[in-house]
Structure 1
Amino acid sequence: MSTRTFAAPKVPDVLLTFWVVKLLTTGIGETGSDFMGTHSIPVAAVVGIGGFVAALRWQLRAESYHPVRYWTTVLMVAVFGTMIADGPHVLLGTPYWVDSLVYLALLCGLLAWWRSSEGTLSVHSIITSRRERFYWGTVLLTFGLGTALGDAAAIDAGLGFAWSIVIFGVTILVPLVLWRLGLPAVACFWTSYALTRPLGASVADWLAAKPSTGGLGWGTGAVTAVGLVLFAALVAYVALTHSDEEGAHAHRSRPSLDASPVPDPVVD
């Protein structure tokens, strides 16, 4: 693959705001996709597929990181990722746990390819267009895996949304603890990244679902609208303060969750 080199990483620094906004996109992607699919399949297809392609093209053509562009792309990946995870179950009737295993295998394969090709999986190394393409492919597969995994727990295993929140809420803390104990930061980061999807989606489903199914009954439209307002506010905040740009918090005493040596880019 041909590649361009950028002056700085085209992704945000891994801080608290990163994880909060990421969780919001997972919830919005889940309920937003369900809301559109319930009311109009053509609209869902146009927004989900068309929005994903347009946002990704916008991001890949840029030469630098910008919060609005980056997080819009993540949001559209969340919507599209929900569709590709639900598609096999709806069209082929495959159990969600089978879909989870398929996406896990694909994700591991892509990460192995990325690692062998570039020598690193660190988000701090996204300074070439080739690495950026690997990055977004990985992000898409984590959304597909997380969606299927969350549905496998809530539906296939019969745990429901509330217990799924508890399970994934505890599970997502495991990589943080292991990182503190010395496990490689990159492995902990991508594990946490994948787990944000089932956690955020379970919370959104719990808020939206009818009380008869164990939810609060807000509805997918209301949950999506509230999520979008919070999402817009946080993205506006980081865009105005530049607080999530690489190096903005270089004075921190502790490294970020993905701090690791970054090899020089390999240019074709």
Structure 2
Amino acid sequence: MAYETPETTAASSADAEASSGRRFRRNKVPEATAYFWIIKVLCTTAGETAADLLDEKAGLGLTRVSVLMSALLTVVLVVQFRTGAYRADVYWPAVALISVVGTLISDNLTDNMGVPLDTSATVFAIVLALVFVVWYRRERTLSVHSIDTTGRESFYWLAVLFTFALGTAAGDLVSERMDFGYWLSAVLFGLVIAAVTLAHFELDLDAVWSFWIAYVLTRPFGASIGDYLSQPTGDGGVGLGAVVTSALFLSVILGLVVYLAVTRKDVAQPQRTARHAV
């Protein structure tokens, strides 16, 4: 699902650079190749099961887990912001941790504060929309091919955080509150992602919006798969448990990230400057 290419956004990025007069760094986000989407789904799955593992199995509780994961995410994001270009070994740990924190934000609202899932999903959707509005008004682009300034990177990670929170609430709403179950929920979200992909390639749905819609939907898709694998058979799962499921997916993520760090197959090409953009 490579929804965006550098060519689709080079002109808008170049215009923003010319108007702002800022010196841009290299892009901080990988190309949206098959590797990107596979690791992203795996991170959402691991994020769901890891949050459950630390909360229930390790006995830390939601509050302690939230503090711990937020602290780790802060450290990794500091490293991420200090890098001058995309690095797989920094970027993907940040995504994995932000998936856990996004999950915990939703779980805290639901379990600790009693906020209904439909309410939290609506609030997260509104907040995410506001992030996109402010981001676009300031930068004139939402493309992941132009995450090359500190401001844009800040908006990017804020948007990513709320996509995970929204996806968690939406996924729980469909699978648990609406009683679709984990497997049927995964199929449902997978079909919607396929429809977005088809709309992009066959109906010319905007590349940037196709990307972000799919990015939101892969969260409940991956989480439903994780829950289906980890939850007991009596609760609609296959009973692998959070430990086995988390270890399995984290191992695959680690292998892919090492592969990409060595081969750099997902490194975005440098943006064209304003003189060359047409």
Same fold? TM cut 0.5: yes
Output the aligned Cα RMSD.
2.0
Render the CA deviation track for 1:26-81: whole Å, top value 9, x for unaligned. Answer: 00100000000012237623531111111111111222110010001001101111
Quote the residue 2:220 is aligned against: 198
CA distance in 1, matches of 2:118, 2:244: 29
Residue identity opposite 1:197 in structure 2: R
Render the CA deviation track for 1:143-180: whole Å, top value 9, x for unaligned. Answer: 00000000000111111101101100101112211111
Residues 25 and 149 in structure 2, CA contact (< 8 A), matched pair in contact too: no
Render the CA deviation track for 1:110-165: whole Å, top value 9, x for unaligned. Answer: 10110111000000011111100000000000000000000000111111101101
CA distance in 1, matches of 2:190, 2:210: 15
Residue identity opposite 1:195 in structure 2: L
Quote the residue 2:14 is aligned against: none
CA distance in 1, matches of 2:196, 2:138: 25
Q: Quick one: structure 1 residues 242 and 96, their matched pair in 2 at CA, closer, same or farther if it must change by over 3 Å?
A: same
Quote the residue 1:98 is aligned against: 119
Quote the residue 1:252 is aligned against: none
CA distance in 1, matches of 2:116, 2:41: 25
The answer to which of 116-125 and 42-51 deviates more is 42-51
Q: Does 1:63 align with 2:68?
A: no
Quote the residue 2:37 is aligned against: 19
TM-score by length of 1: 0.89
Residues 4 and 130 in structure 1, CA contact (< 8 A), matched pair in contact too: no
Residues 89 and 257 in structure 2, CA contact (< 8 A), matched pair in contact too: yes
Q: Quick one: structure 1 residues 183 and 46, their matched pair in 2 at CA, closer, same or farther if it must change by over 3 Å?
A: same
CA distance in 1, matches of 2:34, 2:214: 13
Secondary structure class of the residue paired with 1:26: helix
CA distance in 2, matches of 1:246, 1:262: 12
Correspondence list, 1:10-49, <5 A: 10-38=28-56, 39=58, 40-41=60-61, 44-49=65-70
Render the CA deviation track for 1:236-261: whole Å, top value 9, x for unaligned. Answer: 1111101000129xxxxxxxxxxxx9
Correspondence list, 1:115-264, <5 A: 115-180=136-201, 181-247=203-269
CA distance in 1, matches of 2:88, 2:126: 31
Q: Quick one: structure 1 residues 218 and 4, their matched pair in 2 at CA, closer, same or farther if it must change by over 3 Å?
A: farther
Secondary structure class of the residue paired with 1:172: helix
TM-score by length of 2: 0.86
CA distance in 2, matches of 1:50, 1:221: 22
CA distance in 1, matches of 2:190, 2:92: 23
Identity between Structure 1 and Structure 2 (%): 36
Unaligned runs of 5+ in 2: 1-20
Aligned length: 251
Residues 124 and 162 in structure 2, CA contact (< 8 A), matched pair in contact too: yes
Give the Å deviation of 1:5: 4.2
CA distance in 1, matches of 2:64, 2:39: 25
Residue identity opposite 1:25 in structure 2: C
Quote the residue 1:253 is aligned against: none
CA distance in 1, matches of 2:109, 2:100: 16
Residue identity opposite 1:190 in structure 2: W
